[in-house]
A and B are shown apart, each in its own frame.
Chain A
């Protein structure tokens, strides 16, 4: 491929795949280590943001479930957060939270709130009314009803929301390098004219999204056995 020149430092460039900007698997193999840290950062950013979004949106959904008048305002506020472009949000947050992981995570979390809030709420709303009535009639308190009946029955919808939120966050986390938080966007942008790099880094993003999606689906299957019976 690349032969060493006279005193060992100067190279003779014989293979033209890379310099001609082609798709060079060999190059990828040689430089795999360049993508490991960004990949790990990407996973970290995605998981953290989705988890934070889940906690916040979940709490909001449980609140709004009983006090319906909250649904409209919460939907609108999270909707605005969803509309704001992440890149803009990174730089709007910059004066406040500086460069780094925190800024990126805040922006990514804000983006997931609408999706998760809507899905968790829809899941809770879809709980059969007679199961709820029977539960209350048997003596379950509101809290017991929520945790033992409503949330478990809302799980399919909640999981669906998690899957959507995760795949979109993987895509957005590719922009996190603007905020100084790394991620796969960093190597992607660093050599954006080099076809091999762009295809590989972009492909890693897609692969990550698929893997995380499948993992959530597996978890969903295992904790909702009743959806597969009958």
Chain B
């Protein structure tokens, strides 16, 4: 029964998100009726545009083809093909070829909406009783008159059915539009880091309600336009509706019963670890059978470098004989720390600078400038929380303020303070969390006194793309990004020392670390030894430029530097 109680509790949180505002992880306000209302409006805007265009294109075409009885094969096949193409694939094809943005996503959704409307309009007109059409012609109606007065009214149910199907599909797919850069009601689901888990659930509830509402509204509209002779009797509909409610309640009760009495099986792992290797004489990390009794869950934040580091550590631990599970791509640092403290993961790689700024809220003027000092400070503060910060990597990967070569030349930019007086005409792109961070927008505002024309939150993975395609004048990137040299970007010097050092240090709860034994620290130190800035940049390039997976890049690294033996 406690399972049931916790489930209801979680849903309660979700519902709370819908109505009550709260502070999001990025600093801004999220949740609440007004903010969710805005998201809802964005969602509807996208859907309405797509449906409007789709209807304008597909309805006349389908009706006309059905009326003239042409292209049967095409009209039917377009639906079959449409069914086979996943909506998400369509979305991403448009995204990859045309980029992010409202217009491109709307176009993808329009294409998604066309097949059911087209096919249903076609079939609807075709299926009209040929005798009725014959009689209409017989009394002297012209072609278009027959279509308008006879075929269209009789085809209404099917035509509307197609519109309903499309509308529901479009509403559903608009939920994942944030993946392509358009913020809709699905944003809390896609980007839970700012909204939190309750935001995710609340948005899921809202999306579900929106879809059902769409269906109900259109069903009502369909009834309104169906000629009276074709409609079902109201009394039958009422009886059916009563029975439906009873049936739905029965199903719900059944499900709750299953939940209450059943087992809560949590399958969280995304698969096993990397290599389980034979101990080779040259490998630095060797398998210790004693470690097999310890399971370590390795997490990471949500950008390339983090995923690669997470993979490296995970594979290294596995090579040392530990049982490893992975939970990479968690979200931002707040999410990751919460996961660590809550026990969802056992460890993840954090940056010293990030810890000092985001967790311990050290004011900018008090930030250590030296990498070792920064690490020591972070280590002692973490120790107070019962967390061990293992020795850091050689490389440091700071947030950097980047502009294109052209912008730098045009405005004469070399340092960040050169932006003073010019930034109010420039658009800044950054991650959603950037807005409230002292090593990001807030710091630029406070330390350098800069005001930008507009700040646009964007997926971290797009941080270079927005510079090359001209959307952004200024973007926040990382020191170890391979795209910097490739795209000839210019990094502005941090002359006022806003950014602290950012070496990567692996975090783990102290009690977990102690239980894992001495091999843990030895493995981490072995891994860190070769992680110079150049190597880290190469690893990032493997993933971002060569389109390899983080796992592949990590495995290459471990083998190349003889950390594990070959054959993994």
Query: Do A and B touch directly, given a CB cutoff of 8 Å in the complex?
Result: yes
Binding site for B on A (CB under 8 A): 2, 8-11, 13, 18-19, 21, 27, 31, 34, 69-70, 72-74, 76-77, 79-80, 83-92, 94-102, 164, 167-168, 170-175, 178, 180, 185, 188-199, 201-202, 205-206, 209-210, 213
28 contacts between A and B (CB under 8 A): A10-B538, A11-B538, A27-B547, A69-B243, A72-B239, A72-B240, A73-B240, A74-B247, A83-B212, A85-B208, A87-B172, A87-B176, A87-B186, A87-B189, A88-B189, A91-B189, A91-B204, A92-B208, A95-B6, A168-B83, A170-B86, A171-B84, A185-B88, A192-B179, A193-B465, A198-B92, A202-B90, A206-B85
Q: Are B86 and A197 in contact (CB under 8 A)?
A: no
A190 — which chain B residues lie within 8 A by C-beta? 549
Q: Are B95 and A73 in contact (CB under 8 A)?
A: no
- Cα–Cα, bound, A86→B214 (Å): 15
Q: Measured between C-beta atoms, what is the minimum distance from A27 to chain B in Å? A: 6
B462 — which chain A residues lie within 8 A by C-beta? 193
Given contacts A91-B200, A192-B92, A192-B180, 18 further A-B contacts (CB under 8 A): A11-B546, A13-B541, A19-B546, A34-B549, A73-B244, A77-B251, A80-B212, A83-B168, A83-B215, A85-B168, A87-B207, A97-B265, A99-B267, A100-B267, A171-B87, A193-B95, A197-B96, A213-B84
- Cα–Cα, bound, A13→B547 (Å): 12
Q: In the complex where A74-B247, A198-B96 touch, is A88 in contact with B461 (Cβ < 8 A)?
A: no
| Interface status of B534 (Cβ within 8 A of chain A) | yes
Per-position 1/0 for B544-568, Cβ under 8 A of A: 0111110000001100110000000
Which residue on B lies nearest to A19, using beta carbons? B545
A192 — which chain B residues lie within 8 A by C-beta? 92, 95-96, 179-180
Q: Measured between C-beta atoms, what is the minimum distance from B411 to chain A in Å? A: 28
B236 — which chain A residues lie within 8 A by C-beta? 72
A195 — which chain B residues lie within 8 A by C-beta? 96-97
Binding site for A on B (CB under 8 A): 6-7, 10-11, 80-81, 83-90, 92-93, 95-97, 168, 171-172, 175-176, 179-180, 186, 189, 200-201, 203-205, 207-208, 211-212, 214-215, 236, 239-241, 243-244, 246-248, 251, 259, 264-268, 270, 461-462, 465, 486, 534-535, 538, 541-542, 545-549, 556-557, 560-561
B172 — which chain A residues lie within 8 A by C-beta? 85-88
Tell me the dominant secondary structure on chain A's binding face: helix
Q: Are A202 and B85 in contact (CB under 8 A)?
A: yes
Q: Are B560 and A9 in contact (CB under 8 A)?
A: yes
- Cα–Cα, bound, A213→B259 (Å): 35
Which of A11, A27, A88, A167 contacts B80 (CB under 8 A)? A167
- Cα–Cα, bound, A80→B244 (Å): 10
Q: Are B259 and A88 in contact (CB under 8 A)?
A: no
A170 — which chain B residues lie within 8 A by C-beta? 84, 86
Which of A76, A85, A171 contacts B207 (CB under 8 A)? A85
Which of B96, B207, B265 contacts A194 (CB under 8 A)? B96
A84 — which chain B residues lie within 8 A by C-beta? 208, 211-212
Which residue on B lies nearest to A94, using beta carbons? B201
- Cα–Cα, bound, A132→B541 (Å): 70
Which residue on B lies nearest to A1, using beta carbons? B546
Q: Are B560 and A8 in contact (CB under 8 A)?
A: yes
Q: Measured between C-beta atoms, what is the minimum distance from B44 to chain A in Å? A: 14
Which residue on B lies nearest to A93, using beta carbons? B204
- Cα–Cα, bound, A97→B214 (Å): 27
Tell me the dominant secondary structure on chain B's binding face: helix
Q: Are B211 and A83 in contact (CB under 8 A)?
A: yes
Q: Are B92 and A188 in contact (CB under 8 A)?
A: yes
Q: In the complex where A180-B268, A195-B97, A202-B93 touch, is A209 in contact with B84 (Cβ < 8 A)?
A: yes
Which of B88, B180, B267, B535 contacts A180 (CB under 8 A)? B267
Which residue on A lies nearest to B87, using beta carbons? A171
10 smallest CB-CB distances across A and B, nearest first, come from A100-B267, A202-B89, A85-B172, A72-B240, A209-B84, A174-B86, A76-B244, A73-B247, A91-B204, A171-B86
Q: Are B265 and A102 in contact (CB under 8 A)?
A: yes
Q: Measured between C-beta atoms, what is the minimum distance from B244 to chain A in Å? A: 4
Which residue on A lies nearest to B268, using beta carbons? A99
A193 — which chain B residues lie within 8 A by C-beta? 95-96, 461-462, 465
A196 — which chain B residues lie within 8 A by C-beta? 547
Q: Are B211 and A188 in contact (CB under 8 A)?
A: no
Q: In the complex where A80-B212, A102-B267, A201-B89 touch, is A31 in contact with B248 (Cβ < 8 A)?
A: no
- Cα–Cα, bound, A9→B539 (Å): 10
Q: Are A98 and B535 in contact (CB under 8 A)?
A: no
B186 — which chain A residues lie within 8 A by C-beta? 87
Q: Measured between C-beta atoms, what is the minimum distance from B483 to chain A in Å? A: 9
A171 — which chain B residues lie within 8 A by C-beta? 83-87
Q: Are A87 and B96 in contact (CB under 8 A)?
A: no
- Cα–Cα, bound, A146→B279 (Å): 64
